[in-house]
């Protein structure tokens, strides 16, 4: 571990695997890879001599340090790289970067990096969805109280709750596929996008680069690839991050000691001064990092309206934006996986809480039954709301309903009791869970 | 025109057509439409009597004023509506909203509104793209200087410039299709998403609603539809808005008197005190409104992490967010169409500016030629950069290059002159424009 | 109530008082007021005849409808207004708007509107702080559990909790004062800020306007007042909104049935289908609207970098931004006041929850005592953390600690028992509450 | 230079001076400094033995590597630090961190870091303002065209233009002072803010820490300092950044070859493929980084509404947010200083552009004169606007006005000619520049 770091993404957040895509070394290596593909394109197009291919294979190797040292002097990273490569390759060096512009290299390298980073992100997301699917199946029948406004609503099952996340995160997976289609595209078209430097043979150069890197190419471009794709990517990551934030918030809330239904359990020091505490710190980190992702969307959006055939204002901001967005999302997925693995389900607490409202949260069922018996819905609603307001503090729903003239006249004690049993009032939860799971299956095989 | 308005979207920005989707009247009408579809669902599922269908057809009519008056008393808009409908429909009123939750109605109504609004947005976007295509074709061979960093770069053609916008906006069109798939979906599943109130017949209710409204349904939900879809929609609109902002910025910059290549021309007062001015006010409004759209993305993203089976914090913010995002985008597209129609192309200015750099912007071509003659690319670059630095202030490129020992030794006067003619150095612009146009054709037929 | 509205700020959110500042009528009235002040300035500076003052007093009245009708034809609102006023005032009309630019009028009118709006906001904020102060005093000794990470931490008192909000919101008050200083400033300097149209007598015109409106003026300007002030205002409102969001979140969480310590209680329908529910809907609305405010900050920030002596892109966005930010903040403060008035404190629940951890949350006190007895802090921490991990599930802290060899050797049973009594471990809460209250007193008298 | 970096703030952006405040080493050093101050507080309050002061002076030294190694095992950085310090200090180690909570240390360390960082930021901002003041004085009389909407408006002087930035940036300086007051404050109050662990002697501990670090303390707190202060800081930096963005945009636009009035000139490679280009890359970097700052405001705002006595979601986001916001602002100020030093003023171009509109931009002066001669302002405006529309394409204003019946009847040829001379129509520019400069003087001595 190195200590000159100022950014937690250098070491604290994000996987090594993801980080390796964005170190200075990796950035330079990728630029070299693209320069090499362009060189190959020049050869294929008959601009550079075929004999140079072999030479280039050897001389295209550079210590990133050299590049950055030279950049310090001349103020331009890609130009530095091409000088170094050019000088190193003898006569074949003459053709290095010929007809290309820096952003042919930079944008195509970003596309490669994003493609590889998305492979990691998608794999992790699949794992998270898989864990949620397992949980959805495992707890499909574990009845718990549903909560809206933080208040007790009708019952659901824990599996049903998880299945909702399966669905939502599958949608995020689709969205990443959509974004990838538009952003993981190379751009090899010269200084203003016309391919002028290749004297009419630009399409051949481009086709060779595309084949060499296995990367589709933008149909047209200015000096740079259109920035809407980057904005879409970051927005997709921020939406994913916000859905993970929802999952994390779920855990944080359910982990409260007064609720304690689904608890994040792990080792580690809880508090530097309160030794007893078991804080849901993984979930909290997810929620914390989601805020970073949301902010980055603004930066990405502002990069879309560049001037004319481009201005440079996307450059500095993207050097920060792209690695940060992907590393933060990476950490959040890692954390969600750990969090899901660490969850402990407290069935007693779930059961206790389910009974906390003493049946009052089941009153919708009574209302439905009353309507079946001919009571207008809005009257039933008003009547039961009044009852709840007046009596829910003192009596259980069963007591109150049983002694209510209207209700007891329309419904038998068995009907009332049936209604107040949560297990009877779960609707089509099983089919819905199934629908969510099969949607996920389709979604996750989409790209 | 009414004057109590405080919001410019009430009258100043957005089309009447779009506004009509979001007036209070329209909002209530749509809620009624959904209540009616749910009622139909209850009938289809055998919960409400089929005979009521006819009754409901008549009694389901409500003056929005009533709803809002009642809401003032009881503090809940959908509950007010259901009371009114319930009371109005006699015995059939008993089944109004039965088993449903407010957000079955609200979210399904949002889905309808968004579907209709997107139809408008997409139609307008198609028109804008069409105008850009026409311009791309018309000016495909009109040579102009390309600009990067605001500085003169290699030549392009005006048609090539427009084609880049065709491509970029087609991508936005695709993105709207993607978003629509995930957001224009109904949600009819009761208070916590289990469909409990329909006693096992929820899927039948839902299917009938889906058929009646012609709207696909979410696979699973909590009390509300997942909010990631709304975030995706607003992000897609903000990206579209940012691309339109780029187009508007292009016009604003090219309209400057010193440049004056593509000028927004229209009647109207230019300035309240400087009578001579012809300001690109439409383009400026587009850029101004883009800032509003970008901000709204944050609100939309923050609505994703709701608590448990939902909290209410999305409600107030979406009442603002959804109509504002769509009306602002609507106005921006209207403005872009007007702007494109108002553009005047000043070919003299284009030609004058193309010559402004006295050939120095064509030097890349010389570099390529030198490489062809065996000069290493990086040496050629360094040499020409030095030449440009030293002589571009005083002499034309032709003079400087012709009298430069290295260049004149390697290249004949004809070669030099050939290179300095912009028309010779446009690369594959025609094929690229074609690619952009055919991409657009595919994209615009996607949804 | 009118129904063509599309924006909830027209009727649903924001007070009538605030809304009256931003209706179309009010906007025009304010423009007229500024035109009149400028006219007075022209008279004072000897540019317009003094005799016209009386005339203008009468003829400067206009039906906003006229202005907007004319604007539809000529596309410029201030120009329309000046034409109408000019034509209406006979010979004196000659001097209307003379030498001024539209934004002399618009920006000065914004300054007046903001000043008046801030007076409302500050008054409401004072009332909210006052309510919190009362609550801080009233419940200064009501012991409750403190919560960090949602988990039980050391005890606090409810008054101490409220006092934290007193402090935080007082800081927001100061921030509004800071912002007001820089944003509630007029701008009367002509088309590019030089006051050229007043032929050297600009400072006299400006001074008269300043006196007439009771508004300080910017020291220098371009065509418009610097936009950093607007950004500061919106940021200050968004920070205030985020602190109110924190307060609302506090209430929403403490209102949960499992916690139920501080409950938002009010009439109104809880749910359209679950009649028993008592949702903290006011608090939820506060949290919802906070998201809108946060998004608006982006729009305000993007308005700062206008081109040269200004471009128009701030105009459309500010027509939305300024009224929306102030009306949303207005509603949030109204809601917070209502919410605070509606709170019911459930002392039983507070007491029950305080005991929920069976003393384990008091263990820090034991640690401190052990250190007093010579145990190294980190050893004590480690020991107690282990104890907590192993035993807190089964036994109370008292049992566990009493039978722990290390603890019972160092501490007497009385010491252990003393430590586990929350009331003994509240530190300097009373002095801290006092400090917060007196800070608030100073802050609230700051402007 | 190390190559494992993924974040450009590690090496590319930000000064070494600023970076040194935020390296891992510095972070740990500062935590130790605060732990030491707390220790001193414990001694002053009579909790730890005075004899330990000397011991602690020596044993309070730790290699950050150790801390991070231990953190990897126990998952908590401050706890790791306190263990190490505790074990290292023998018996005196018993009192390390006693009664304190992690965020007593972290938040107080943030306050120290922010104070030091703001000292750098403010010093740099003073330098930028100073350079702008010099330019304002130097070019106070250099007449140039003012531009609104990118179009030619009335004349200004270059000094007047710079003075506007002096004013605007002075306001940012004030804003930093305001923010510093509320954010550069320590927090030493224990786990829930009550100072319980110090058994009634908390105020003495706190006072000693405050004295030792020279840092004022928050009046009250939860487990953490209120987060509104951080949001205010980041908002103030983002507003500053947006004003610098405006300055940078000014330079980028004025550097265009068609305008070329104020040009960013420096060495370095202009383009990797177009050797002639002189791009305003410093200004572009400023505009690019401003986008990052604006996005960070969202993250900072979202950190305000923490739950109860705090949740952990601010922790991860602030680890990124705080150093990034300050380093980005640092780089922007460094760049602005460099940019201002590199500017070359092209007086010929300024003069040429001033004449570009052939007098039409001076027509307001004619309008004012006509009004002096009794023509109603709105008629004069309409007449001149018509003239401009019809004739500005073909003739100079002088020709058109001289041969216009209305104008030539009212104004003598000398009057017309006088009006068309830009130097005559600069209003009170000198006094306004003076006002801006003396405002700056007051503002910059404010903190």
Put simply, the chain A residues between 374 and 433 with a CB less than 8 A from any chain C CB are: 381-382, 384-385, 387-388, 392, 397
- For chains B and D, CB pairs below 8 A equal 130
The answer to whether residue B274 neighbours chain C at the CB level (below 8 Å) is: yes
| pLDDT for position B379 | 86
The answer to whether residue B319 neighbours chain D at the CB level (below 8 Å) is: no
Whether the per-residue pLDDT at C283 is higher than 60: the answer is: yes
The answer to whether residue D288 neighbours chain B at the CB level (below 8 Å) is: no
Give the mean pLDDT of C109-119: 98
CA distances from A21 to A15, B31, B368, C106, C163 (A): 10, 50, 33, 51, 49
Asked if D269's CB is within 8 angstroms of B149's CB, the reply is: no
Whether the per-residue pLDDT at B24 is higher than 50: the answer is: yes
**Residues in chain B, overall count:** 447
- Nearest CA to B31 among B95, B80, B100, B78? B78
- For chains C and D, CB pairs below 8 A equal 366
| pLDDT for position A1 | 44
How far apart, in whole angstroms, are the C-alpha atoms of residue A351 and residue A363? 18
Asked if B360's CB is within 8 angstroms of D276's CB, the reply is: yes
pLDDT for B119-169, tens place per residue?
999 999 999 999 999 999 999 999 999 999 999 999 999 999 999 999 999
How far apart, in whole angstroms, are the C-alpha atoms of residue A200 and residue A438? 50
- Nearest CA to B77 among B92, B53, B97? B97
pLDDT band at B2 (very low <50, low <70, confident <90, very high): very low
Q: What is the mean pLDDT of chain D?
A: 94
Whether the per-residue pLDDT at D2 is higher than 70: the answer is: no
- Nearest CA to B62 among B100, B88, B24? B88
pLDDT for D232-241, tens place per residue?
999 999 999 9
Three-state DSSP at A361 gives helix
Asked if A298's CB is within 8 angstroms of B147's CB, the reply is: no
Catalytic residue status for A210 = no
- Are A425 and A144 contacting, i.e. CB atoms less than 8 angstroms apart? no
Put simply, the chain C residues between 327 and 356 with a CB less than 8 A from any chain B CB are: 327-328
pLDDT for C374-390, tens place per residue?
888 888 888 998 898 88
| pLDDT for position A274 | 65
- What does the block give as tokens for B167? 């491509």
pLDDT for C188-214, tens place per residue?
999 999 999 999 999 999 999 999 999
How far apart, in whole angstroms, are the C-alpha atoms of residue B176 and residue B129? 14
Query: CA torsion sign, A222 to A223 to A229 to A234?
Result: negative
Q: What is the mean pLDDT of chain B?
A: 94
In this complex, the residue of D175, D308, D377 whose CB is nearest that of residue C98 is D377
Mean pLDDT by 10 residues, chain A (447 residues): 79 95 94 97 96 93 90 88 91 92 97 98 98 98 97 97 98 98 98 96 98 98 98 98 98 97 78 72 97 98 98 96 98 98 96 95 92 87 89 91 95 96 97 98 96
Instruction: Report the chain C residue with the minimal C-alpha distance to residue A146.
Output: C274
Q: What is the mean pLDDT of chain C?
A: 94
Regarding predicted confidence, which is higher, D166 or C393? D166
User: What is the 3-class SS of chain B, one letter each residue?
Assistant: CCCCCCCHHHCCCCCHHHHHHHCHHHHHHHHHHHHHHHHHHHHHCCCCCCCHHHHHHHHCCCCHHHHHHHHHHHCCHHHHHHHHHHHHCHHHHHHCCCCCCHHHHHHHHHHHHHHHHHHHHHHHHHHHHHHHHHHHHHCCCCEEEEEECCEEEEEEEHHHHHHHHHHHHHHHHHHHHHHHHHHCCECCCCCCCCCHHHCCCHHHHHHHHHHHHCCCECCCCCCCCCCHHHHHHHHHHHHHHHHHHHHHHHHHHHCCCCCCCEEECCCCCCCCCCCCCCCCHHHHHHHHHHHHHHHHHHHHHHCCCCCCCCCCHHHHHHHHHHHHHHHHHHHHHHHHHHHHHHEEECHHHHHHHHHHCCCHHHHHHHHHHHHHCCCCHHHHHHHHHHHHHHHCCCCCHHHHHHCCHHHHHHCCHHHHHHHHCHHHCCCCHHHHHHHHHHHHHHHHCCC
Phi–psi pair at A177, nearest 5 degrees: -60, -45
| pLDDT for position D74 | 85
- What does the block give as tokens for C93? 């009309």
Asked if B311's CB is within 8 angstroms of C284's CB, the reply is: yes
- What does the block give as tokens for D366? 């004619």
| pLDDT for position C1 | 44
CA distance C3 to chain D (A): 34
| CB burial readout D85-109, b (16+ within 10 A) else e | bbebbeebbbbbbbbbbbbbbbbbb
How far apart, in whole angstroms, are the C-alpha atoms of residue D225 and residue C152? 19
- Nearest CA to B220 among A434, C112, C313? A434
How far apart, in whole angstroms, are the C-alpha atoms of residue B297 and residue B139? 36
The answer to whether residue A24 neighbours chain C at the CB level (below 8 Å) is: no
Report H helices in D76-101.
77-88
Chain C residues in contact with B311 (beta carbon < 8 A) = 252, 284, 287
How far apart, in whole angstroms, are the C-alpha atoms of residue D319 and residue D297? 14
CA contacts within 13 A on the Cβ side of D120: 22
Active-site option among D51, D61, D271, D403? D271
- Are B249 and A308 contacting, i.e. CB atoms less than 8 angstroms apart? no
| Residue of D5, D280, D297 for testing the chain A interface, max A β-carbons within 10 Å | D5
How far apart, in whole angstroms, are the C-alpha atoms of residue D91 and residue D88? 9
How far apart, in whole angstroms, are the C-alpha atoms of residue B178 and residue A174? 9
Put simply, the chain A residues between 65 and 104 with a CB less than 8 A from any chain C CB are: none
Cβ within 8 Å of residue C15, ≥6 positions away: C120, C330, C331, C334
| pLDDT for position B314 | 96
pLDDT band at C266 (very low <50, low <70, confident <90, very high): confident
| pLDDT for position D274 | 64
Whether the per-residue pLDDT at D251 is higher than 90: the answer is: yes
- Are A313 and D335 contacting, i.e. CB atoms less than 8 angstroms apart? no
ipTM of the complex: 0.96
Instruction: Report the chain C residue with the minimal C-alpha distance to residue B248.
Output: C313
Chain D residues in contact with A13 (beta carbon < 8 A) = 316
Cβ within 8 Å of residue C51, ≥6 positions away: C92
- For chains A and C, CB pairs below 8 A equal 129
Asked if A292's CB is within 8 angstroms of D100's CB, the reply is: no
Chain D residues in contact with A304 (beta carbon < 8 A) = none
Chain D residues in contact with A66 (beta carbon < 8 A) = none
Chain A residues in contact with C279 (beta carbon < 8 A) = 148-149, 151
Active-site option among C51, C61, C271, C438? C271
Q: For a pLDDT cut of 90, what percent of chain D falls above it?
A: 87
Put simply, the chain A residues between 4 and 23 with a CB less than 8 A from any chain B CB are: none
CA distance A433 to chain D (A): 31
- Are D199 and D52 contacting, i.e. CB atoms less than 8 angstroms apart? no
Range with lowest mean pLDDT among A42-46, B272-276, C214-218, D8-12: B272-276
pLDDT for C86-96, tens place per residue?
989 989 998 99
Put simply, the chain A residues between 100 and 159 with a CB less than 8 A from any chain C CB are: 148-154
Q: Would you please indicate which residues of B are annotated as catalytic (active-site) residues?
A: 149, 271
Three-state DSSP at D8 gives helix
How far apart, in whole angstroms, are the C-alpha atoms of residue D231 and residue A293? 17
Q: Walk me through the domains of chain D, giving residue ranges and CATH numbers.
A: 10-351 (1.20.200.10), 358-424 (1.10.40.30)
| pLDDT for position B254 | 98
The answer to whether residue B305 neighbours chain D at the CB level (below 8 Å) is: no
Chain D residues in contact with C236 (beta carbon < 8 A) = 232
- What does the block give as tokens for C198? 């007043």
In this complex, the residue of A148, A182, A308 whose CB is nearest that of residue B308 is A148
Chain D residues in contact with A320 (beta carbon < 8 A) = 7-9, 292, 324, 328
- What does the block give as tokens for B175? 């993105």
The subunits that touch chain C, with at least 3 C-beta pairs less than 8 Å apart, are: A, B, D
In this complex, the residue of C148, C272, C363 whose CB is nearest that of residue A275 is C363
- Are C9 and C329 contacting, i.e. CB atoms less than 8 angstroms apart? no
Range with lowest mean pLDDT among B6-20, C386-400, D325-339: C386-400
3-state helix, strand, coil in chain A (%, to 5): 70, 5, 30
pLDDT for B350-366, tens place per residue?
999 999 999 999 999 99
CA distance B25 to chain A (A): 23
How far apart, in whole angstroms, are the C-alpha atoms of residue C79 and residue C63? 15
CA distance B429 to chain A (A): 5
The subunits that touch chain B, with at least 3 C-beta pairs less than 8 Å apart, are: A, C, D
The subunits that touch chain A, with at least 3 C-beta pairs less than 8 Å apart, are: B, C, D
User: What is the 3-class SS of chain C, one letter each residue?
Assistant: CCCCCCCHHHCCCCCHHHHHHHCHHHHHHHHHHHHHHHHHHHHHCCCCCCCHHHHHHHHCCCCHHHHHHHHHHHCCHHHHHHHHHHHHCHHHHHHCCCCCCHHHHHHHHHHHHHHHHHHHHHHHHHHHHHHHHHHHHHCCCCEEEEEECCEEEEEEEHHHHHHHHHHHHHHHHHHHHHHHHHHCCECCCCCCCCCHHHCCCHHHHHHHHHHHHCCCECCCCCCCCCCHHHHHHHHHHHHHHHHHHHHHHHHHHHCCCCCCCEEECCCCCCCCCCCCCCCCHHHHHHHHHHHHHHHHHHHHHHCCCCCCCCCCHHHHHHHHHHHHHHHHHHHHHHHHHHHHHHEEECHHHHHHHHHHCCCHHHHHHHHHHHHHCCCCHHHHHHHHHHHHHHHCCCCCHHHHHHCCHHHHHHCCHHHHHHHHCHHHCCCCHHHHHHHHHHHHHHHHCCC
- Nearest CA to A39 among A114, A121, A105, A103? A105
Instruction: Report the chain A residue with the minimal C-alpha distance to residue D28.
Output: A3
Catalytic residue status for A149 = yes
pLDDT for B316-343, tens place per residue?
999 999 999 999 999 999 999 999 999 9
């Amino acid at each position: 571990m190195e200590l000159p770091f100022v950014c937690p993404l250098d070491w604290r957040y994000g996987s090594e695997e993801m980080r390796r895509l964005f170190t200075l070394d990796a950035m330079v290596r990728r630029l070299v890879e693209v320069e090499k593909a362009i060189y190959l394109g020049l050869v294929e197009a008959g601009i550079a001599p075929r004999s140079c291919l072999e030479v280039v294979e050897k001389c295209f190797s550079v210590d990133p340090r050299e590049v950055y040292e030279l950049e310090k002097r001349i103020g331009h990273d890609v130009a530095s790289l091409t000088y170094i490569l050019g000088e190193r390759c003898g006569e074949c060096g003459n053709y290095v970067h010929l007809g290309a512009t820096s952003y042919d290299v930079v944008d195509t390298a970003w596309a490669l990096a994003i493609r590889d980073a998305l492979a990691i992100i998608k794999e992790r997301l699949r794992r998270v969805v898989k864990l949620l699917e397992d949980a959805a199946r495992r707890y499909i029948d574990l009845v718990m109280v549903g909560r809206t406004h933080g208040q007790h609503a009708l019952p659901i099952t824990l599996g049903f709750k998880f299945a909702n996340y399966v669905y939502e995160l599958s949608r995020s997976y689709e969205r990443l596929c959509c974004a990838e289609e538009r952003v993981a595209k190379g751009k090899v078209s010269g200084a203003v996008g016309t391919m002028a430097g290749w004297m009419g043979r630009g399409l051949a150069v481009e086709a060779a680069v595309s084949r060499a890197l296995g990367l589709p190419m933008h149909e047209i471009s200015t000096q740079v690839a259109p920035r809407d794709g980057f904005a879409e990517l970051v927005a997709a990551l921020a939406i994913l991050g916000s859905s993970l934030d929802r999952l994390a918030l779920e855990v944080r809330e359910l982990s409260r000691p007064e609720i304690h239904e689904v608890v994040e359990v792990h080792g580690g020091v809880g508090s530097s001064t309160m030794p007893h505490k078991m804080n849901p710190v993984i979930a909290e980190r997810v929620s914390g990092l989601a805020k970073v992702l949301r902010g980055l969307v603004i930066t990405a959006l502002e990069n879309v309206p560049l001037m004319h055939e481009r201005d440079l204002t996307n450059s500095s901001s993207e050097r920060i934006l792209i690695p940060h967005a992907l590393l933060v999302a990476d950490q959040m997925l890692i954390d969600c996986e750990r969090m899901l693995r660490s969850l402990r389900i407290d069935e007693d607490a779930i059961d206790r809480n389910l009974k906390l409202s003493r049946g009052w949260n089941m009153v919708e069922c009574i209302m439905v039954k009353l309507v079946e018996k001919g009571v207008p819905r809005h009257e039933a609603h008003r009547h039961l709301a009044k009852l709840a307001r007046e009596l829910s503090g003192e009596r259980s729903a069963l007591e109150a309903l049983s002694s209510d003239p209207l209700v007891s006249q329309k419904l038998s004690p068995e009907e009332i009791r049936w209604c107040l049993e949560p297990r009877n009032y779960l609707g089509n939860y099983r089919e819905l869970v199934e629908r969510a799971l099969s949607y996920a299956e389709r979604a996750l095989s989409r790209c």
